[in-house]
Amino acid sequence: MVQKTDWIWLNGKFVKWEDANIHVLSHALHYGTSVFEGIRCYETPKGPMVLRLKDHIQRLYNSAKIYRMELPWTIDEYCELCLEVIRRNKMKACYIRPVVYRGYGEVGVNPFGCPVESAIAVWDWGAYLGPEALAKGVDVCVSSWNRMAPNTLPTMAKCAANYMNSQLIKMEAILAGYAEGIALDVNGHVSEGSGENLFLVRNNIVFTPSIANAILPGITRDGVLTLLEKEFKMEVRHQAIMREMLYIADELFFTGTAAEVTPIASVDKIQIGAGKRGPVTEKLQTRYLQIVTGKAPDIYGWLTPVEK
């Protein structure tokens, strides 16, 4: 269950958590017309820090632009609103959920008669795939549900409608006894998890699906690529990945704001590597968490302080 906090920012003002309501006929409820972000704030020795705040809000605005939703705030102003929500709730660490949506106006497919509204909430959220997942890895399956085909729904937009597809992947995996599912794209190539990007290590080369494989351009994915290429000096290939490559990988891992860097222990009951976190994943996970928690210098400028 979501652990409630005190305040939510809603359409330009702060309201109590229990008063942050929208009309039952809001367009977003009926047609999925909302875009959102998931952002983490970490507790560090220098106080709470938000990871890649401006990058996340830029992606939020990109998603809104694709769906022709205009916002009256600049990106910098919206970033400051996110920080103020954290301050109002006195959070040392939290998950941040900004959402932009079409509200109550007309009840038809045409969204233009409905106002563009926005909210920002924060709450405490631990390890997304479970507290032991970061060390032991998770068991996953290849889903029977594919990601969206090109020119159907834009996968570069983090839109609520896309996550109906994610829910089908996730529910199927859970009911089959797995922690997560991996989706293929319309051509049968590996795409991503229900809410995570995917990396594969084989013969000391790192493979990851390209943007053309119907993936969301992940912010954590971008950070991991930076570490792999600049610090670990590993070869990274952005390419189509065949399903069978998953089974013969030395290591597999998910990345995402919620998942962070989570190793994959098995796919379709086929053990990956030693069936636990591999050396590249462990090294990457350690380095990533050191930076985001302030235990190592923020040499990439990823962290934004909450306190002024």
Active site residues: 158
Helix/strand/coil percentages in the chain, nearest 5: 30, 30, 40
Q: What letter represents residue 64's amino acid?
A: A
Contact in structure between 145 and 165 (CB atoms under 8 Å):
yes
H or E segment and range at residue 66: helix 53-66
Q: What letter represents residue 28's amino acid?
A: A
Count Cβ neighbours within 10 Å for each residue of 241-261 and write b for 16 or more, e otherwise. Answer: beeeebeebbbbbbbbbbbbb
CA 266 to mean position of chain CA atoms: 22
Report the DSSP pairing between strands 94-102 and 39-44.
Answer: antiparallel
H or E segment and range at residue 12: none
H or E segment and range at residue 135: helix 133-136
Q: What letter represents residue 180's amino acid?
A: E
Residue 260: both structure tokens together = 């962070």
Provide the Cα torsion 55, 60, 65, 68; round to 10°.
Answer: -170
Beta bridge partners of 47: 44
Q: Is residue 83 classed exposed, middle or buried when 0-12, 13-18 and 19+ CB atoms within 10 A define those classes? A: buried
Closest C-alpha to 182, from 85, 270, 264, 78? 264
Please tell me whether residue 158 adopts helix, strand or coil conformation.
coil
